[in-house]
Structure 1
């Protein structure tokens, strides 16, 4: 929903003030007071200031969460049993049953 509103505002501004100006207003490079008409540039500027970082942050959070979940494939009990096995003292070597 938010992404659709951002896209519609960008498209509206692209047609009214030009695509390059709409891009610069959305990123905060150009002030919305510096383009005409201003009535459509102000909502685009506010969207670029507030919504775009939130969308990027949400996408990054999703990717990071998926990576963390992918690395938690083993149960904690399995990890602890492997650690205790690795920490146990080594068994004595087998006796040589040569008999001589």
Structure 2
């Protein structure tokens, strides 16, 4: 079930992303520094593809599989996701 797009902040998305990435990397969310490139943690293409699928499932926003490399940190990815959610809402889409 998609998460409602209203009320999201960079902080809430950063937390969600850190928790999800930590799960893929078998780490604790607190171990994921939002300013460290995800590749430095060993995020691979399989995990990146899974992350895109989770974003699409939870937020009802389509993400390209390259998003983890285009926005290589949790903060960068959260900012991009927030912008995508805002654009989707502005266009009348979203949950």
TM-score, length basis structure 2: 0.34
Say which one has the larger Rg: 1
Q: Which has the higher helix share?
A: 1
User: With CA pairs under 8 Å and 6+ residues apart, which has the higher RCO, 1 or 2?
Assistant: 2
